[in-house]
Structure formats: C-alpha cells, structure tokens
Structure 1
Amino acid sequence: IISPTLTLYALTPLPLLAIAVFFMARMVHHRSDRLQQQYSTLTSRVQEALSGIRVLKAYTREEAEAEAFDEESREYRARNLDLAWIESAWRPSFLLLVGVSTVIVVWMGGRLVAEGAITIGNIAEYIIYINMMTWPVASLGFVITMIQRASASVLRLQKIMDRTPDIDDGPQTDPSIQTIEGAIRFRDVWYQYEDEDEPALRGVSFDLPADHTLAIVGRTGSGKSTLVRMIPRLLEPDVGTVEIDGHDLRTIPLKTLREGMGYVPQDVFLFSDTVANNIAFGDLDADRAAIRRAAAEADLAENVADFPDGFDTYVGERGITLSGGQKQRTSIARALIQDPRILIFDDALSAVDTATERNILHSLRQRQGGHTLVIVSHRLSAVQEADLILVMERGEVVQRGTHDELVAQEGLYADLHEKQLLEEEIQAL
C-alpha cells in the first residue's frame, strides 16, 4: 500500500455505497412486485375481454371496456415509471460516490504531498485506481437491479409452486390399488362450502354396482354437481365416506382414481389447439383412428367433417370458434377416448338438441358393461333408462328408484316429468 492513510480516506464512501445498495435494492424489489401485480391485472383484463368479446358487443360495452383498459394501462405505466425512476438513480448515485472518493484523494493527497509523505505521482496512481473501479461499480448497480426485478417475479411464482394441494395422497393411501372397477357407494355424506350458510349435501347415501347407470336430477342448486365432484375426489366430504369398489377414496391413489374416470363438467374448457389434440388430451397416445371413434361416439364426426381442416381445425381460445353443443361434444369425446371405468356427465348434454342427446346416449348404452355411468341432467329424457335415479332437493335425496317407479309416485320427479311433457307438447305446436 502506497499510503495507508490515503487509502483509508479513499475508501470512506464505501459505507455510504453499502447503505445505498441496501435501500435501493429494497425499493426496486418492492416496486417490481407492484409492477408484476399490475401486469397480471392488465393481462387478465385483456384475456377476459377477448374471451367475452361477443357479450361485450351484444351489450355495446366496447367503449366502457376500452376505458377500463386505459385506466389499468395508466396505472401500469405509472408503476413502471416509478420503478424506472429508482433504477435511473443507481448509476448517478454510484458515480457520485466514486467522484467523492476522487475529490477526497486529491484533497488529502495534496496535504500528504505538502508533508512529503507521498509524491504527486502517487496521487495520480490513486486516481487511476479509482477510475478503474467506475465500471465494476456501475455494473454492480445494473446487476443488483436485475436481481431484484427477477426476485420479485420468482417470489410470485414461489407462492404458487409452494402451495400444497388441499386434496392429495396421504398416510391412508394404499399404493397396491392400481385399478378401479366402478362400484360407487356413498355413506351418510355431508358437505358445506365455506362461504355458504347451508350444507350442499345432507346425509346422502346410495349404492351403485359397477357397470350400472346412475342418474341425478333436481332443481338448480339442489347439490347435484357437488355430489358428482365427490366421486373423482375433487371435493372431500365433511362427514361420511365415499367408496369405490369398497375402498374409501382416501385409500386409493389419486392417479389411479382419476385415470380410471372420465369427467365432463358443466363448464367445458377447450385448449387453443386443434380438435384432434383437444380430444386426444384424454389419451396422449391415441392415434387418429381412436380420435375418430371417440368423435363418432360423441356425435361430433359429422360436424368435424364440415370444418375447414377437419380434425386439424384450431378451435381458438377456450373453443371460441365452436358452438356450445360442439364444445360439449368435444369434451365428451375427450372423456370417451380414455375408455374410463367410471364416466361422469355433469349436465354435459345441456347444449345439444334432443336428437344429438339420443345418439350420444345410444353410443353410451352400447358401451354398457364396460363402464359405470353417472349422469346429471335437467332433461328427464336423458335419464329414463338409468338403473338408479336420485332426486335431490336442497342437498337431500328425496326420491330414488327407476324412471317408471318414480313417475308412478307422487313427488318432485313426477312433477318435473309432467312439466317437461307439457313443454314438449307446446314446442310441437
């Protein structure tokens, strides 16, 4: 060291540099997190608007939606500028501290030269060394900025990745169970959603042998969908047990359970891909022949033949280019291609006409003996040939039996049947 005293004075700004790094890093991280949150809000708004573009046009809400988008965009710009202001202060702040160090060297070095402790050449050396530090210090600011931006994004991802599933395999799981046959049993099942005051299911019990058909009917909000979501263990009962083949669902590995089921929900979701790939999502190893068979069973083949590129036609985001009935039938074909032991239709025929419904049910009956079928439907025509019909009201099974048995009884099923017969007669006029 040429001069310990001058070296000490030259490094005096370092503590200030450390403090600046600490506070600026915190500010960059905080503002980056706020920016990411607003970006998420903005992109969600755009995606929602594009998905519901037909509704927006139907209600002439284009201008209102554009104004809402502008407001979100202005907020995003404001947060971006806030972050840019902090980031722009990095380099000047660091260069200022380097300049302060140079001034200190010249000032203290001059005094030491006057005392004869060092030479003018030594001062020049110190200034050169300080200038050599300029680029590394500036780079440090750039790197810290990038790290803080990235860490804000990573933390948002970690919040998602670190979440544990509410329903998963546990200590009770028996890995030796590798297949299911399809017998379903509910034993006094109760369930209540967290934000509801009343139970969605109240003491539901029934037995369905394998390879039989169960139909569930009832008014809207009677608990039909909640009941069928218990079967693939999308929900777990608060009280009671659900069994498949005599095994409590909690003892069956989730992979085994769900691989043995085909579930068609009320709200159909299709990927922005081809018709073929949406169907084959149920079986990634399926060949084109299997895809065609599944489409035929779902009464979709004739529609696909009219598409511009057949099975290679892109359906758009969430299947926006398809009609409601076509989306439902594509989802049904996706379930059928798995050849599942248990097939669940949660009001999956609501958007198809009566003739199409009849064709699909005929295909399913031809499969009978190879799977257990569970159908939720508002149309009694879809459930008339079921082996067991459950009639639900406010979460309870108020009637059960076959179609003929229930029609002969006084009750909700007979009322629904009579109303639908009247509707059909009126439509026929």
Structure 2
Amino acid sequence: MIKLFRYLKPFWMQVALVIVLVFLQTMSELYLPTLMSDIVDKGVVNGDVSYIWKIGGYMLAVAAAGMLCSIGASFFTAKSATGFGRVLRSKVFSHVETFSQEEINQIGTDSLITRTTNDIFQVQQVLTIMLRMMVMAPLMCIGGIIMALTRDVKLSGVLAVAIPVIAIVILFVQSKAIPLFQLMQKKLDALNRVMRENLTGIRVIRAFSRTDFEKERFDHANVDLTNTAIRVNKIMAVMMPMMMLILNFSTIAIVWFGGHRIDSGAMEVGDLMAFIQYAMQIMFSFIMLSVMFIMIPRASVSAGRIREVLDLNTKIIDPKEPKQANENLSRTIVFDNVAFRYENAEQPVLSNISFQAGPGEVTAIIGGTGSGKSTLLNLIPRFYDVTKGRILIDGTDIREMKQEDLRKKIGFVPQKAVLFSGTIAENIRYGNQQATDAEVEHAAEVAQAASFIKEMPDGFQSVISQGGTNVSGGQKQRLSIARALVRKAEFYLFDDSFSALDFKTDAALRRALKKETGESCVLIVAQRVSTVMDADRIIVLDEGKIAGIGTHRELLETCGVYREIVSSQLAEEEYA
C-alpha cells in the first residue's frame, strides 16, 4: 500500500499541514489534564477561586485551539484523500486503456471494474483515517506515557501490564482477519460478474425463462459474500469489547492503587485525576490503532489488487524507433506466413496465413464458425500480436510502427456493434472528431442509416441510450459502419458487419461502399456468400488455415470447402 502513496505527491503541502494541525491538536489534548490537575491541587484544595478562573480560562482557550486544529485537519485530510482517490482512479483507468485484449482477459472485466471503484475507495478511506490517526495515536500514546510518568512512576506499572495485552489482542485479530479480507474481495468480484452478466444478458435470460435460475445464482454469490463478511465481522467484533474490558479494568486498577498512594501521602488527588485522563488517552490511542488495524488489512488487499493492475504491462508496445510506412506501397496489406496462438491454448488459431491485398481491392474472408476469421482481422490493428510471421502495412511491419499511427489508417467495424451514450451525430463523429455535419450525414447515407435517422424525432441529435438499447441490431451495425466511413481511412476492416442486415439493405450498402472506398484497401469478414461473391479476392479459412484464395468462380472450381459453404446457402442456379 505504501507504494501507492507516491500518488500523494501533488498534495504534499496539504498532508504536511494535516500533520502539523494534528500535532497541535494532540498537544492541546495532552496539556488539558495537567491544567485540570493544577485547578484541583492548587485552586480547589486551597479555595483559590481566582486561580480556578484563571486556569479554567487557559483550559477553555487550549480546548478551543484544539477544536480549530481538529476542524482544519479534517478538512485538509478529506481534500487530500479524495484528491488521491481521483488521481489513482485516473492512473488505473489510463493504464487499463493501454492493455491489449490479452491483459484484459487475464484480469477480467468484472475484476477491473471492482479494482477501479471499490478497491480504490477502500484505500482512500483508510488514508483518511491514517492521515490523522497515524500521527495522533503514536503522539498521544508516547506523550500520555511521559505525562503519566511525571505524575507517578509506580502507578505506571498498571500501564506496563495493560499495553502488552492490548497489543496481543490487536495482532491476534489482524492475523485472523487479513486472509478473510482477501477472500472477501474475490467474492465481491464474483458478485459483480454475476450482476454484470445478468444486466447484459437480460433479454436472453427472459427469452429462455431462466429468471429463477439467475436469481438463485445471484443469491448464491450474494450469500457467499455475506457469510464471508459475517465471519470477518465476528472476528473484528471481538476487538472492541476486549479493548474496552482492558480499559475498564485498567481504570479500576489505577483508582485502587492510586487511592492507596493518596492515602499514604505519596500522591495528590489532582495528580490521580490527571493520571486517569492520561491512561484513558493512552488506551484510546490503542483503540485508534485497533480501528486502523481493522481497515488496513482490507485496504492492503485492495492496494495489492490495484498495484497488480498498475504493475501489469501490456505485451503490445510501441517500438523505441518507430518506422514510417512506405509511400510507394500505399494502402497495401501483406500477411507473411502468419500464425497466432492464444495464451495457454493448446493449438494455434491461425497457421501459415499468407496473402496480399492492395488499394481499390475488396478482400473477403469466409469460413466456418471458429475458423479464425475475426482473429485474423484483429491482428491488423494489433489487438493481438502475431505469434509467428509478420503483417506488413505499406511495406512496414506493424510491430515497427506506432500503434496510434497504425490505427489512424484503419476504419474498423467490430463484429459486435458498440455504441456509446450520446447523440447519433456524436456516435458517428467518434470516428473523426473533426468531421463536419455534412460529412457525418454523408457517412450515414453511404451506411444506409440516413433513412431511419430522419424518421427519429430529433434526427442526428436523437439520443442513443447506454449500449444502444433503443435501436435495433441492424441500425447499430449501420451506425458503426458510418462511424468507420467518416474516418476516411486507408484501410477498412468489416468484421461480419452485415449479418443483421436484410439482403436488400446489404446489397445497397455494398454498392455504396464500393463507390466510397474505391481507393482504399477493404477487408470483409462475412458469413453470407452473397456478401462476398463480388469481392476481388476471397480467402477461404478452414480450421485456421487457408483452404483457397481466388474469385467466386475460381473457388467454385478449385476449393471444396467453398463449394460446401455456397451449396449450403444458395440454390444451384444462383451460384452457377
């Protein structure tokens, strides 16, 4: 957790001010019992009313100063801790943005959300307590012991017995609680995962009447987390009663032995009262520490999980000396003996993939489910890095280019259409922030989206809800295509982006695309033969390998896999 505190550097002046204010507050609280002792021994015993008023005034002033210091310390503590939380959340989010899909899969989306929200909140909360109690508790403990010794050394023997007992209780509880706190965060991840799956898959759940099953699954995760939390709280619940028991027995012992000391004339009544106050302060300093020890174990687990994210570096990095693309080979893609294997997978997804696509050409990729079509397309923007071979963009290995420069050349439409909350115009302009209204409307026209946009009450200013739940699957795909087109890219990658379109819209869209992307290099992954028939080049994948490359007619004659796909979708007279 200490490693995370480097993000407190922007707030070092506020932290320093908190330490000074807490120090002054603690000094005022340590000074008050001494003043009270003087009032009793010198004022009350001697009947000196003026002295009582005088010292009482000092006590009031010291208490007021302590209160002001406490308010100031609370204000700057809150400001520092919340600022720290803001900076840390920003760092984690920015770092996660650099992850490839491999690192995101390694930690898990649900866990990343928990770490960015709940875990950072836990660390922020403990920091709020630490900034005050880490200074106050030791000062009050040490100062209280010193002041108690100045009142009566022999009576301090009671404290010599009580303090080690308190320390043993704290250490025992902490040793039992830390493993459970670690388990609790994992249970929270599991609960978030179930909740996220339920919210994103609510239509499927209802369609298959699995609501009761999902309730049981959520209840199981919820009860699992609850039971772990109860176990932790049972252990933590032991601490405070034990602390108070030790505190009360210590007070009884001090009054008992202190009474004998007063009776023998070795101690004044005011000194005993002050000693009791200092003993209380010492004990309460340990209670403060115990509160910290309650929160620190969970916060340390959370800090470890945050640090795990920040220490995880993506394998896909920019080269130290990036190369520029060759202008003489503009808008060309070359796959040179490419192979790819997912981490921990037994078999490669792609093997021996070699082909070339140039400007003005449409290259279509088709094959059965699981043949590696989408994976092949995801290698081009470096969502994953090839395991073997190389991919050349304009004659340059993409691993030797800056990722930003590479992706600026690409207009990408993912297999699952993703829209963001905001207006339709903002979603289309996501592909090019500088696009004019005319360019946005033109992209929508080409993507066959203008017709349904104009039917909406606010046109291009109509609001898209979170996840695009207020538009259909086909409309989402067309908006995603418009977003890619407004980029005016050199390369267009369509990952099964026409699957939700009817045949009429599909045909109209492909005709419009041909005119719009005439100078660009276009790669289309598709399931439909009708979508790829007119492509300049069709690549047939079968179990991660190229089964054939050619035009529609060439493949009908030379590739058995392609013939099977065609015959399963079209009547003989259609593809003849």
User: TM-score higher than 0.5 here?
Assistant: yes
Paired with 2:324 and 2:560, the residues of 1 have a C-alpha distance of: 45
Paired with 1:237 and 1:300, the residues of 2 have a C-alpha distance of: 35
Q: Measure how far apart 1:26 and its partner are.
A: 4.8
- The equivalent of 1:297 in structure 2 is 446
Q: 2:524 aligns with which of 356, 375, 378?
A: 375
Paired with 1:423 and 1:132, the residues of 2 have a C-alpha distance of: 93
Q: Measure how far apart 1:373 and its partner are.
A: 0.7
Paired with 1:334 and 1:364, the residues of 2 have a C-alpha distance of: 13
Paired with 1:284 and 1:4, the residues of 2 have a C-alpha distance of: 76
Q: Measure how far apart 1:345 and its partner are.
A: 0.8
- The equivalent of 1:49 in structure 2 is 198
- The equivalent of 2:402 in structure 1 is 253
Is 2:475 the partner of 1:326?
yes
Q: 2:170 aligns with which of 7, 14, 21?
A: 21
Q: Measure how far apart 1:404 and its partner are.
A: 3.8
Amino acid at match of 1:18: A
- The equivalent of 1:234 in structure 2 is 383
Change (3 A) 1:26 1:307: farther
Amino acid at match of 2:332: A
Higher alpha-carbon deviation: 223-232 or 285-294: 285-294
Whether the 8 Å CA contact 2:428–2:440 is kept in 1: the answer is yes
Q: 1:354 aligns with which of 488, 499, 503?
A: 503
- The equivalent of 2:322 in structure 1 is 174
Could you give the per-residue CA deviations for residues 249-290 of structure 1, whole angstroms, max 9, x where no partner exists?
210111211222122222233334443333333234445444
Is 2:207 the partner of 1:207?
no
Whether the 8 Å CA contact 2:330–2:394 is kept in 1: the answer is yes
Paired with 1:139 and 1:294, the residues of 2 have a C-alpha distance of: 63
Q: Measure how far apart 1:204 and its partner are.
A: 1.3
Q: 2:251 aligns with which of 95, 102, 108?
A: 102
Amino acid at match of 1:222: S
Q: Measure how far apart 1:234 and its partner are.
A: 1.9
Q: Measure how far apart 1:153 and its partner are.
A: 3.1
Q: Measure how far apart 1:126 and its partner are.
A: 0.8
Q: 1:338 aligns with which of 463, 487, 495?
A: 487
SS at match of 1:228: helix
Q: Which runs of 5+ in 2 are unaligned?
A: 1-149
Q: 1:219 aligns with which of 347, 368, 384?
A: 368
Q: Which runs of 5+ in 1 are unaligned?
A: none
Q: Measure how far apart 1:330 and its partner are.
A: 2.1
Paired with 1:128 and 1:73, the residues of 2 have a C-alpha distance of: 45
Q: How many residues align?
A: 425
Change (3 A) 1:190 1:147: same
Whether the 8 Å CA contact 2:325–2:393 is kept in 1: the answer is no
Q: Measure how far apart 1:3 and its partner are.
A: 2.4
Q: Measure how far apart 1:133 and its partner are.
A: 4.4
Q: 1:12 aligns with which of 161, 165, 168?
A: 161
Paired with 2:282 and 2:218, the residues of 1 have a C-alpha distance of: 46
Whether the 8 Å CA contact 1:51–1:317 is kept in 2: the answer is no
Change (3 A) 1:386 1:75: same
Paired with 1:183 and 1:29, the residues of 2 have a C-alpha distance of: 57
SS at match of 2:533: coil
Is 2:551 the partner of 1:402?
yes
SS at match of 1:210: coil
- The equivalent of 2:92 in structure 1 is none
Whether the 8 Å CA contact 1:190–1:237 is kept in 2: the answer is yes
Q: Measure how far apart 1:225 and its partner are.
A: 1.9
Whether the 8 Å CA contact 1:183–1:211 is kept in 2: the answer is no
Is 2:173 the partner of 1:35?
no
Higher alpha-carbon deviation: 2-11 or 244-253: 2-11
Could you give the per-residue CA deviations for residues 374-394 of structure 1, whole angstroms, max 9, x where no partner exists?
111122222233222212222
SS at match of 1:267: coil
Paired with 2:316 and 2:249, the residues of 1 have a C-alpha distance of: 60
SS at match of 2:431: coil
- The equivalent of 1:158 in structure 2 is 307
**Two-structure CA RMSD over aligned residues (Å):** 3.0
Paired with 1:176 and 1:7, the residues of 2 have a C-alpha distance of: 77
Matches within 5 A, 1:190-205: 190-194=339-343, 196-205=345-354
Q: Measure how far apart 1:349 and its partner are.
A: 0.9
Q: Measure how far apart 1:228 and its partner are.
A: 1.5
- The equivalent of 1:263 in structure 2 is 412
Q: Measure how far apart 1:424 and its partner are.
A: 9.1
Q: Measure how far apart 1:344 and its partner are.
A: 0.6
Q: Measure how far apart 1:327 and its partner are.
A: 2.0
Paired with 2:227 and 2:461, the residues of 1 have a C-alpha distance of: 44
Is 2:241 the partner of 1:92?
yes
Q: Measure how far apart 1:111 and its partner are.
A: 4.8
- The equivalent of 2:23 in structure 1 is none
Paired with 1:148 and 1:196, the residues of 2 have a C-alpha distance of: 36
Whether the 8 Å CA contact 2:473–2:500 is kept in 1: the answer is yes
Change (3 A) 1:48 1:5: same
Change (3 A) 1:404 1:45: same
Q: Measure how far apart 1:117 and its partner are.
A: 3.5
Change (3 A) 1:26 1:216: same
Higher alpha-carbon deviation: 293-302 or 348-357: 293-302
Is 2:536 the partner of 1:387?
yes
- The equivalent of 1:81 in structure 2 is 230
Paired with 2:523 and 2:378, the residues of 1 have a C-alpha distance of: 11
Whether the 8 Å CA contact 2:151–2:275 is kept in 1: the answer is no
Could you give the per-residue CA deviations for residues 299-344 of structure 1, whole angstroms, max 9, x where no partner exists?
1121223335444444444323332212222222222222222111
Whether the 8 Å CA contact 1:192–1:200 is kept in 2: the answer is yes
Whether the 8 Å CA contact 1:188–1:239 is kept in 2: the answer is yes
- The equivalent of 1:63 in structure 2 is 212
Q: Measure how far apart 1:422 and its partner are.
A: 0.8
Structure showing the higher helix proportion among its residues? 2
Identity of aligned residues (%): 33
Amino acid at match of 2:550: G
Could you give the per-residue CA deviations for residues 112-140 of structure 1, whole angstroms, max 9, x where no partner exists?
44655434443222112223446544444
Q: Measure how far apart 1:178 and its partner are.
A: 11
Q: Measure how far apart 1:423 and its partner are.
A: 8.2
Amino acid at match of 1:174: P
Change (3 A) 1:178 1:257: farther
Q: Measure how far apart 1:242 and its partner are.
A: 1.2
Paired with 1:337 and 1:19, the residues of 2 have a C-alpha distance of: 68
Paired with 2:463 and 2:302, the residues of 1 have a C-alpha distance of: 32
SS at match of 2:487: coil
Higher alpha-carbon deviation: 340-349 or 138-147: 138-147
Q: Measure how far apart 1:212 and its partner are.
A: 2.5
Amino acid at match of 2:342: Y
